Structure 1
Amino acid sequence: MSTATLDVLTIGNAIVDVLSRAEEDFLLAQGMPKGSMTLIDEARAEAVYQAMGPGIEISGGSAANTAAGVASLGGRAGFVGLVRNDGLGGVFGHDIRAAGVAYETQAAADGPATARCLILVTPDGERTMNTYLGAAQNLTTAHIDRAFVESASITYLEGYLWDPPPAKQAFLAAAEIAHNAGRQVALTLSDAFCVSRYRAEFLDLLRKGVVDLVFANESEVKSLYETADFDAALVQLRADAKQAVVTRSEKGALFTTDGAAVTVPAHPVAEVVDTTGAGDLFAAGFLFGHARGVDPATSLRLGALAAAEVISHIGARPQKTLADLAKEAGFIT
């Protein structure tokens, strides 16, 4: 097996986040339930985009956020996700590369526009999101570069992209390439609603060993096993998954494999400003440590530190260099 040149390669929806401050009157005028996340079509996306006030445009998407987090820790990260060759597609490509992430996916010349999440932040800090998935959902096996996947110690798949059948096949192709190269495959369950749609398929991925490492939060694990009892769900997860990381917000996080478990507390944070991206950055910290051969407890602490940084401000990308914070905490040298 050749030496990996990437620590982590992530695959997911390539989305541009457009953040703008708005008064509640604007939400009412636009018919947006405050605090909601609504999937919208291209025409609606364009209309809302034009109506919004001045905003910040930054590349986003769950797996892309994770890749940016790995890079901020000093890791070698790559990302696979599809944009259109339009204005926001250019924003996405520039931002992800500027974050230190290798991004080689060729932009689509036609078809749906680049995906975007239009985020209205009201004075109380609450987010109301309108998401157009556009080009991101058109990822296929043709976008999976064998050499790129083979170069990564861990290929990390975003559960949100399990909806379109061609993207699902792209996931499976990437997993097969990774395993044939002696690499590991990780999956994030993304959210409880995603789990409810694909429960049987996700369990199949775990039980057949297509996935070596699964990431989930407490609600996703309960949804996976259709129980309100977290401990009972955890027993089943240990039986099904080779390795699993479960985040529990302020209760900390745990890693389990072969019936053994390691638990760490949440990293202290002065003020929780915005929880968007917490799970993505936790995965970044753990994956960075795991790819570098760090012990599970320290990998969990790296995840908790990265999550704490991102929830201390608005936005789903680190504002401080995570490598510096990790060195200060003594987690890496």
Structure 2
Amino acid sequence: MMSAGSFLPLFLSLMDLPMLVVALEKVERSSGTLIGSSIATIQKSAAPEMLLALMDEAYTGSAVEEPSGNSGSDDSGPLDLTDPMFLDLLKDENDGIAAKHWISPTISSTLQAAFNSPQSDRLKQSLEMAPRFLTLYFATALRDVNDSLLCALIPVVMSRYAAMFPDKVFSFKVRERLSDFILAAFQRSPNIIAVLKKPITDRLGEAHDNLAKTELALHLCWAIGEHGAGGVGHKDVARELFENLELLLYENLATSRLGLSQEPGSDSMGASSRKSSQARLLCFVVTAIAKLATCHSELLPRARVSLGRSFPNLRQEGLATGL
């Protein structure tokens, strides 16, 4: 059963299921199997003791001492903890939902190594299972969770849109579920957009960082326009989000015109993908500005000015058709 206390941490646990498999397999390679056909096999393995030591280190800050053959001896020393990746994961679990492990060099290098190596059967299964678990999780959230918990969950979901196990198929499936959930939550309770104005504007400001963040910004632009920034009663929020959309529009046009969006030495396929993503984002930004001005009539003069100034540039980019 999913309770209010476990609701938020469960999301990160599901997102990081493949990472947990990689960490546990590292433990097995260094300390022996975690699964045995008999109790004797498990007892001979050092892996269970290593896991206990890692958990104690993460939760209490003290190392578990390895027992010696002589219970009265003082020669026992701390168990050698050789898996900082698993330790980082446990510390995140201890801290709640602050997913700091994505900035850990140890975990980054381990994930890259796992991505470049043949996948184990368990890792393949976790990559298949995690998106299905997320589907059930989000369906339950939309059905049973109140708006307060949704407001707490959505910023965490947005923060993980570009931070997940680096498998293309897995990333595609997970991002599809994340975006569907965000849009469904806004559809259920449009006023959430007004409540989450700050995290939404933060994500719009990251739209140029990478393709995943551009995709997230695209979905957010659509939601802002479709739901009028939370409704007609949220005029101040609508004005602030309108200003952010204007800024995003001008930045996108400037980088496109100056060619700043293409990194030096980037491949042509990557450049083409970025250009296509940028064009889609521009279309959604323009549409969101127009819809916001329709919902909040006080924004109409500014919308005419911003779109009027942008129209020649949009025509040059081939995006002015139908405007």
Task: Check whether TM > 0.5.
Answer: no
Higher relative contact order (CA 8 A, sep 6+): 1
Say which one has the larger Rg.
2
Which of the pair is proportionally richer in helix? 2
Q: TM-score, normalised by structure 1?
A: 0.29
